[in-house]
Amino acid sequence: MTIRVLVVDDSGFIRRRLTEILNADGDMEVVGSAADGAEAVQKAASLNPDVITMDVDMPVMDGITAVREIMKDRPTPILMFSASTKAGAKATLDALEAGAMDFMPKQLQEISGDQDLAKRILRRRVRDLAEHAGRLRRLRRPSRPVVARPPAAKAQLRDFRLLVIAASTGGPVAIQKVLTQIPETASVPILLVQHMPGNFTGSFAERLDQLCRIRVKEAQNGDELRPGVALLAPGGFQLELSEHGARKTVVVRESGSGEHFRPSADVTFSSIAKNMPGKVLAIVLTGMGSDGKLGAEKLKAKGAAIWAQNEQSCVVYGMPKAIVEANLADCIYDLDEMAGELKNL
């Protein structure tokens, strides 16, 4: 089935370029384009695209407002294109909160110096979003999902020493939702792994710090684990745990060969399993792929508790699905109920 795409950007050159890249894939067709947000809202309704690519800064109606309007009237997977600046990162986070599903840098060379590879990555991201178009519309309907809550899992949480949360697509909004429920009296340190470019994680940490009652900061090499402080893995790097007697710190390092995700939940989870066995709660939220599954297996073998977000409340049911299908999940929670459970920590 052909993936129908609407391209939205105030630059005619960008619209033509994206159209050429996407139409070069035999499974995709750009069915229309728009030069501003207002036109995008109209064409989203009339053309019924499977995926929309959206610029942020446009005349008449900006991209963030357009995302809100489209998601209110006809939920559609939206891929934002953003500038690699602090202002661009903030705008992108606003767009994700408004309902956009994913984002990429507007300059494709920032994805990869290999232009052909950058084009393939763009087409793959559009294809991945198209696979979730129907489920996104179902997700926006009000419903109460069935939640599995095995009582045995709660007993493991009485004296855990670390909380670690991992996510990818849809993660910024999901992490914000659960983290804002943690009280300022939280007695455990927290690690966060979100698939995100390096120029975005600083702004994301700042936003969380402003919204949460606990402190949130982008992790720096050597930061010590402290109760009530959440350390966010910096984009483009790996976050590991290091133990020096009773003192535990984080190691921020360059990614090695074969480490596709930067940061990677598998890398962080595996490091925790090695350096802090047992008494750990790992939460896997919405995201494409299966990053976190291999690390969760190691955590589980060392006595950790694993929670997974349920399918109904995920933007993309990939990472949690891998956990559930591998029988690693102690609890499977709707996002709202998971946030509620974390109030008690």
Taken in order 180, 183, 184, 187, the sign of the CA dihedral is negative
How does residue 144 score in pLDDT terms, banded at 50, 70 and 90? very low
The answer to whether 3-139 and 151-342 have equal CATH topology is yes
* Options 195, 203, 270, 334, the catalytic residue: 195
Lowest mean pLDDT among 145-149, 212-216, 242-246: 145-149
| Per-residue pLDDT tens over the stretch 55-90 | 999 999 999 999 999 999 899 999 999 876 788 889
Nearest to 33 by CA among 25, 47, 24, 21: 47
Task: Examine the pLDDT at 143 and tell me if it is beyond 70.
Answer: no
195 is an active site residue = yes
Alpha carbons 19 and 162: distance in angstroms, whole number: 47
SS3 state at 309: strand
Domain boundaries, the chain: 3-139, 151-342
How distant, in Å, are the alpha carbons of 67, 198, 281, 342 from that of 142?
A: 19, 35, 29, 23
| Per-residue pLDDT tens over the stretch 161-212 | 999 999 999 999 999 999 999 999 888 999 999 999 888 999 999 999 999 9
Residues in a beta bridge with 82: 105
What confidence score (pLDDT) does residue 155 get? 39
Please give the class, per CATH, of domain 151-342. Answer: alpha beta
Alpha carbons 180 and 203: distance in angstroms, whole number: 16
What confidence score (pLDDT) does residue 151 get? 45
Mean pLDDT along residues 118-134: 88
What confidence score (pLDDT) does residue 101 get? 93
Task: Examine the pLDDT at 113 and tell me if it is beyond 80.
Answer: no
What confidence score (pLDDT) does residue 136 get? 65
Alpha carbons 294 and 303: distance in angstroms, whole number: 15
Task: Examine the pLDDT at 249 and tell me if it is beyond 80.
Answer: yes
How does residue 145 score in pLDDT terms, banded at 50, 70 and 90? very low
| Helices 86-98 and 171-179: angle between axes, nearest 10 degrees | 80
232 touches 204 (CB < 8 A): yes
Residue 191, token pair as written in the block: 């690690």
What confidence score (pLDDT) does residue 234 get? 97
How does residue 345 score in pLDDT terms, banded at 50, 70 and 90? low
Render 104-141 in DSSP notation, one character per residue: EESSGGGT-SSHHHHHHHHHHHHHHHHTTHHHHHHHTS
User: ω into residue 77 within 30 of 0, thus cis?
Assistant: no
Task: Examine the pLDDT at 320 and tell me if it is beyond 70.
Answer: yes
Alpha carbons 327 and 61: distance in angstroms, whole number: 46
What confidence score (pLDDT) does residue 260 get? 86
* Options 36, 291, 330, 334, the catalytic residue: 291
Task: Examine the pLDDT at 154 and tell me if it is beyond 80.
Answer: no
| Per-residue pLDDT tens over the stretch 14-54 | 999 999 999 999 999 999 999 999 999 999 999 999 999 99
Q: Residue 329 is which amino acid? A: A
How does residue 135 score in pLDDT terms, banded at 50, 70 and 90? low
Residue 124, token pair as written in the block: 């793959």
Task: Examine the pLDDT at 126 and tell me if it is beyond 80.
Answer: yes
| Helices 37-47 and 63-73: angle between axes, nearest 10 degrees | 30
Please give the class, per CATH, of domain 3-139. Answer: alpha beta
What confidence score (pLDDT) does residue 152 get? 42
| Per-residue pLDDT tens over the stretch 214-237 | 999 999 999 999 999 999 999 999
291 is an active site residue = yes
* Options 33, 62, 128, 168, the catalytic residue: 168
Q: How many percent of the chain have pLDDT more than 90? A: 74
Task: Examine the pLDDT at 147 and tell me if it is beyond 50.
Answer: no
Lowest mean pLDDT among 136-145, 207-216, 241-250, 316-325: 136-145
Q: Which residues contact 212 (CB under 8 A, 6 or more apart)?
A: 179, 180, 182, 230
What confidence score (pLDDT) does residue 111 get? 65
